[in-house]
Chains A and B, each alone.
Chain A
């Protein structure tokens, strides 16, 4: 019993070995469906949603879960769309437990019942993450575009705790709800959550379409930093707060997904293996499907995964930058969305030639932009009445 710190070494030996662009994958986001009763204007699903008839079958997912475990994957996050729309969710959770995967459910909680929660806990589910759109019911329901969503989330959070499952509250933050952050923190504590994810909107896909209605002001972002810091102190040991900062007003980009195709990946409802949930917003890349290849083959050989792995693909200014092994040049999806070139330096970086112009636009939008949403749906979006 030499030192207590040794008990919690950061998981450095899970990282790829020196000189390798990728290691054994650690976590997978399994998007079971793009169907969802809600219509959040910042949804991270692609603008063109996968159709129900193209979704992987139960048997296909069960095979893929086995392949994940063989490949060294530790955690599977069942997500969507709304994963509880899939009636076979319990079977998939059970399969994940059988092959030793740690399973987490990422849900809007709309459509969950008490029986279903207990059945999922029985099947070996370890953890549930429920998204909340705001703390005020009227605002939350307006943002989610679904009338009774907020009340259902509160009920479901209670069942999750009653079943003995751990609960994370996920709150996606933007200009129209940042003022409620203190109440959202209190709500998370009252609901018995162990963890709160304060996730500022990332702007690609639906969120980019809605950027003018979502972009926070600089003052809001500064206040958000302050509230998170204060709450972390106040609820130490009770509530862990993970904070995704907005990178539009930062000087350095985020280390997106810990690096493209480095340790995590995403499987779309129709079986495509993506480096992140938004990667399909980059047009011109072909993503391989678990219907055509084994996961092991895809992880090693998929041209789309290899395209932006490591640092060799980088243009100036990243190529010769001291930070390139820390942030991997930022987010490819954001680079593509804002410059039309996925290989460009992420404009969130102050060294990008596009930085000043793009973030000036964002600042103007935050001050003068519309507040009306374009709701996410399979028909390409509906403008708020």
Chain B
């Protein structure tokens, strides 16, 4: 079995939630939650949007373009922020790439 490699998020990556991560709205607390074993993250509204767009089909560039149009914000800045956010979630094992070595 080959060793897993660290996923590097780029413009062409097709991000999706990792197999073991679940994004859900918790009615008891009125919060969005990102669940993994032993970990619960509280994504902010923008992170929730990014994760919902991260369906394994859209690329990071598609996700950034979508948000840049929706919020009428500069694509460069959005792309940088989306990439950094997804990278940090990938490093924690919450995000995978559709065609990557991670699940």
Q: Are B29 and A72 in contact (CB under 8 A)?
A: yes
Chain B residues numbered 23-42 whose CB sits less than 8 Å from any CB in chain A = 24, 26, 28-29, 31, 33, 35-38, 40-42
Q: Are B81 and A4 in contact (CB under 8 A)?
A: yes
Q: Are A237 and B42 in contact (CB under 8 A)?
A: no
A195 to B103, CA, bound (A): 13
Contacting A192 at CB < 8 Å: which of B1, B33, B40, B92?
A: B1
Interface string of A156-188 (1 = CB under 8 A from B): 001001001110100000000000000000000
Enumerate chain B residues within 8 angstroms of A240, measured Cβ to Cβ.
92-93
Q: Does B72 contact A (CB under 8 A)?
A: no
Determine the main DSSP class of A at the interface with B.
Answer: mixed
Q: Are B35 and A74 in contact (CB under 8 A)?
A: yes
A194 to B37, CA, bound (A): 11
Q: Does A379 contact B (CB under 8 A)?
A: no
- Write the nearest CB–CB distance from B1 to chain A, whole angstroms: 6
A264 to B43, CA, bound (A): 22
Q: Are B36 and A8 in contact (CB under 8 A)?
A: no
Interface string of A231-243 (1 = CB under 8 A from B): 0000011111010
Interface string of A82-126 (1 = CB under 8 A from B): 000000000000000000101010000000000000000000001
Q: Are B85 and A4 in contact (CB under 8 A)?
A: yes
Q: Are B28 and A72 in contact (CB under 8 A)?
A: yes
A127 to B92, CA, bound (A): 15
- Write the nearest CB–CB distance from B41 to chain A, whole angstroms: 5
Enumerate chain B residues within 8 angstroms of A194, measured Cβ to Cβ.
4, 18, 20, 93, 102-103
Contacting B37 at CB < 8 Å: which of A72, A166, A191?
A: A166
A77 to B35, CA, bound (A): 13
A127 to B35, CA, bound (A): 11
A24 to B7, CA, bound (A): 35
Chain B residues numbered 9-23 whose CB sits less than 8 Å from any CB in chain A = 18-22
Q: Are B18 and A24 in contact (CB under 8 A)?
A: no
Chain A residues numbered 28-84 whose CB sits less than 8 Å from any CB in chain B = 70-72, 74-75, 77
Chain A residues numbered 2-19 whose CB sits less than 8 Å from any CB in chain B = 2-4, 6-9, 11, 13-14
Contacting B73 at CB < 8 Å: which of A1, A126, A127, A129?
A: A1
Enumerate chain B residues within 8 angstroms of A158, measured Cβ to Cβ.
1
Evaluate whether A127 and B37 lie within 8 angstroms (CB atoms) in the complex, with A14-B29, A164-B103, A189-B3 already known: yes
Q: Are B90 and A237 in contact (CB under 8 A)?
A: yes
A100 to B22, CA, bound (A): 10
The residue on B at minimum CB distance from A106 is B37
A166 to B21, CA, bound (A): 9
Determine the main DSSP class of B at the interface with A.
Answer: mixed
Q: Are A126 and B20 in contact (CB under 8 A)?
A: yes
Q: Which of A26, A77, A192 has the most CB of B within 10 A?
A: A192
Q: Are A1 and B37 in contact (CB under 8 A)?
A: no
Q: Are B40 and A26 in contact (CB under 8 A)?
A: yes
A215 to B78, CA, bound (A): 53
Evaluate whether A100 and B24 lie within 8 angstroms (CB atoms) in the complex, with A74-B35, A237-B7 already known: yes
Q: Does B82 contact A (CB under 8 A)?
A: yes
Enumerate chain B residues within 8 angstroms of A72, measured Cβ to Cβ.
26, 28-29
Contacting B4 at CB < 8 Å: which of A4, A129, A238?
A: A238
Chain B residues numbered 48-103 whose CB sits less than 8 Å from any CB in chain A = 50, 67, 71, 73, 77-78, 81-82, 84-85, 88-93, 102-103
Q: Are A8 and B26 in contact (CB under 8 A)?
A: no
Enumerate chain A residues within 8 angstroms of B77, measured Cβ to Cβ.
1
The residue on A at minimum CB distance from B93 is A194
Evaluate whether A9 and B44 lie within 8 angstroms (CB atoms) in the complex, with A126-B20, A127-B37, A129-B37 already known: yes
Interface residues of A (CB under 8 A from B): 1-4, 6-9, 11, 13-14, 24, 26, 70-72, 74-75, 77, 100, 102, 104, 126-127, 129, 158, 161, 164-166, 168, 189-192, 194-195, 236-240, 242
21 contacting pairs across A/B (C-beta < 8 A): A1-B46, A4-B84, A6-B44, A8-B43, A9-B44, A24-B28, A102-B35, A126-B35, A127-B37, A165-B20, A165-B103, A189-B3, A189-B4, A192-B1, A194-B103, A195-B37, A195-B93, A238-B3, A238-B4, A238-B6, A242-B38
